[in-house]
Amino acid sequence: MSSIKVSALTAKTTPSGSEELLINDGGTSKKITIDNVTENNFTDTLKSKLDAIEASADVTDTTNVTSAGALMDSEVTNLAAVKAFDTTDYATAAQGTTADAALPKAGGTMTGDITLGDNVKAKFGAGDDLQIYHDGSNSKIQDTGVGELQLLGSNLSIKSWDGAESYIDCVDNSYVQLRHDNAVKLATTATGVDVTGSVTCDGFTSTGIDDNATSTAITIDASENVLVGTTQNNPTSSGVNVAGQEFSTTGGVRSTVASNAAATFNRKTDDGGIVLFRKDGTTVGSIGSGEFSIYGVGANNTGWMFADGSAVLPMKNSALSDNLVDLGSASYRMDDIYATNGTIQTSDEREKQDIQALTTAESNVATACKGLLRSFRWKDSVAEKGDDARIHFGIIAQDLQDAFAAEGLDAGRYAMFISSTWYEKEVEVPAVEAVEAVEATYDDEGAELTPAVEAVEAKDAYTRTYTEDEPTDGYTERTRLGVRYPELLAFIISAI
- CATH of residue 362: 1.10.10.10
Q: Residue 250: left if φ>0, alpha if ψ -120 to 50, beta else—which one?
A: alpha
Question: Is residue 241, in this structure, part of any structural domain at all?
Answer: yes
Give pLDDT, residue 23: 62
What is the residue-wise DSSP string for 339-389? -SS-------GGG--S--PPPHHHHHHHHHHHTTEEEE--HHHHHHHGGGP
Domain edge (last residue) among 345, 373, 403? 345
299 in the same domain as 383 = no
Q: What is the pLDDT of residue 39?
A: 47
**Within this chain, do residues 443 and 419 fall inside the same structural domain, yes or no?**
yes
Pairing of strands 273-279, 291-295: unpaired
DSSP 93-110: TT--S-GGGSPPTT----
Q: Quick check: is 477 in a domain?
A: yes
pLDDT at 2 over 50: no
pLDDT at 31 over 50: yes
Answer whether residue 211 is part of any domain. no
Domains: count for the chain:
3
pLDDT mean over 224-238: 81
| Model confidence pLDDT, tens digit, residues 257-279 | 888 888 888 888 887 778 888 88
* pLDDT band at residue 109 using 50, 70 and 90 as cut-offs: confident
Mean of pLDDT values over 390-405: 96
What's the average model confidence in pLDDT over 164-184? 92
Query: pTM (2 decimals)?
Result: 0.47
Of 210 and 117, which is predicted with more confidence?
117
Are 462 and 429 spatial neighbours (Cβ–Cβ below 8 Å)?
yes
Secondary structure (3-state) at 207: coil
The residue that leads in pLDDT, 401 or 72, is 401
Q: Looking at the structure, do residues 337 and 362 belong to the same domain, yes or no?
A: no
Reported as a single tens digit per residue, the pLDDT across 445-480 is: 767 788 877 778 888 898 988 889 899 999 999 999
Residue 17 lies in a domain: no
Query: What is the pLDDT, as a whole number, of residue 82?
Result: 65
Please say whether the beta carbons of 20 and 33 come within 8 A.
yes
- Based on the domain organization, do 367 and 242 belong to the same domain? no
Higher pLDDT, 454 or 32: 454
| Whether residue 324 is found in the same domain as residue 364 | no
Parallel, antiparallel or unpaired: strands 319-320 and 291-295: unpaired
Inside any domain, residue 101: no
Mean pLDDT to the nearest integer, 222-232: 81
Q: How far apart are CA 290 and CA 278, in angstroms?
A: 19
Lowest mean pLDDT among 46-50, 96-100, 284-288, 441-445: 96-100
pLDDT in tens, 303-320: 888 877 678 888 888 788
Closest-CA residue to 454 (of 280, 251, 257, 216)? 251
Is 379 domain-assigned? yes
Burial zone of 192 (CB within 10 Å; 0-12 exposed, 13-18 middle, 19+ buried): exposed
Domain end point (choices 345, 375, 394)? 345
Asked whether residue 292 falls in the same domain as residue 390, the answer is: no
* Domain with 366 in it: 357-493
Do 361 and 341 share a structural domain? no
Same domain, 246 and 277: yes
Per-residue pLDDT at 11 = 53
Phi, psi for 45 (deg, rounded to 5): -65, -45
352 occurs within a structural domain: no
CA separation for the pair 211, 232 (Å, rounded): 17
Within-domain flag for 31: no
**Based on the domain organization, do 309 and 370 belong to the same domain?**
no
Which residue, of 294, 312, 345, is where some domain finishes?
Answer: 345
Average pLDDT, the chain: 81
Task: Provide the percentage of residues in the chain whose pLDDT is more than 90.
Answer: 30
Is residue 335 located within the same domain as residue 362? no
Is 376 found in the same domain as 341? no
Pairing of strands 311-316, 319-320: antiparallel
Same domain, 281 and 400: no
